[in-house]
Amino acid sequence: MAKILVTGGSGFIGRHLSHELVNHGYQVKIYDALIDQVHQGGSVTLDDATELVRADIRDRAALDQALEDVDGVIHLAAEVGVGQSMYEIARYVGANDLGTAVLLEAMIGRNINKLVVASSMSVYGEGRYEDREGRHVSSARRRPGDIAAGDWEVRAADGEALRPVATDETKPVDLASIYALTKYAQERQALIFGEAYGVETVALRLFNVFGMGQALSNPYTGVLANFASRLATGEAPLIFEDGEQRRDFVHVGDVATAFRLALETSGIGGEVINIGSGRAYRVADVATLLAEAMERSDIRPEILGKVRKGDIRNCFADISKAQSLLGFAPECFLEDGLDEFTAWVRSVAVVDNASQMRHELESRGLVS
């Protein structure tokens, strides 16, 4: 029975992934610092075939011990949050980039044959766009002057509004936040390491992950969890810009499956692969759908008309590479998974910290 070390394995994705691996015959060792922002007290429930090492990802001695008897590594451990990364820079770089470096050094010389690292759609910056002639525009960015004037759209040099299209892995990286920078560094460190040391390594670029078990009281977690925590406490979801921005929402169960498939598929060393639903959703529509599912249609989202530094306008996934290389096929789409999600929200205690998050960003000039 193969044993897999899952760093960050007690987090939202990690718990679902660990359960997925156990159900498919793996032994799982979880390595997690159990930080309060995510875990609120540090308690964790484990599957029978799972053990826990509680330690920081930068703790070389703990990593040496944890890696002694494992066959593969799935690296999820990371600080997560575009907004927070813009002012807690040392924290994000330390955990994400230095932490990955310490892990990779600890793996040198061991009999580990597979490494799967969690990357992020944030590395793309803006997604792909097309002009009126249907030509791809790969390096599109919003202009500061347009944003200052309340024009949120991505435009060509002549002022034409560009049309967002699905983003594939050939789209050049364009880092718009410290978080994105750290995720790209994690990805590249792992792939360089894998090539140098003969460890088959693949990076999965995750889009917006949703599902049961998200940290509802962590305002820097996924947008769906933020909206749910607001609605559960009778408050309006806060939407930056105008709500027309588009994102791809992928169910955590499908993400767990994707990691297992990447672990089990041979011949994919050096690849980066999008993991999303392949569908685009307007953020304002997501807030409305969630309010209906939570029976709070009386609460309309608050459209702030402001932009957060580091945010992008549109990015949604082309998942054809995941389909062809991994046999990945999403099974639970956003509109299908909201009943399960909202039932779980009703069953847990929720503390809404979105106002605190907004204050933290505004006080630092990161909202305009």
Encoded amino acid at 307, one letter: V
Task: Please name the residues in contact with 154: beta carbons below 8 A apart, sequence gap of 6 or more.
Answer: 126, 129, 140, 141, 142, 161, 162, 164, 313, 314
| Distance from C-alpha of 327 to C-alpha of 260, rounded to nearest angstrom | 11
User: Residue 179 catalytic?
Assistant: yes
Q: What sign does the dihedral 170-222-27-59 (CA atoms) show? A: positive
Encoded amino acid at 64, one letter: D
Answer yes or no: are the C-beta atoms of 110 and 43 closer than 8 Å: no
Answer yes or no: are the C-beta atoms of 141 and 174 closer than 8 Å: yes
| Distance from C-alpha of 253 to C-alpha of 214, rounded to nearest angstrom | 12
Task: Identify the residue whose tokens are 């949050």.
Answer: 81
The length of the chain is 368
Catalytic one of 92, 124, 179, 220? 179
Q: Which residues are catalytic?
A: 179
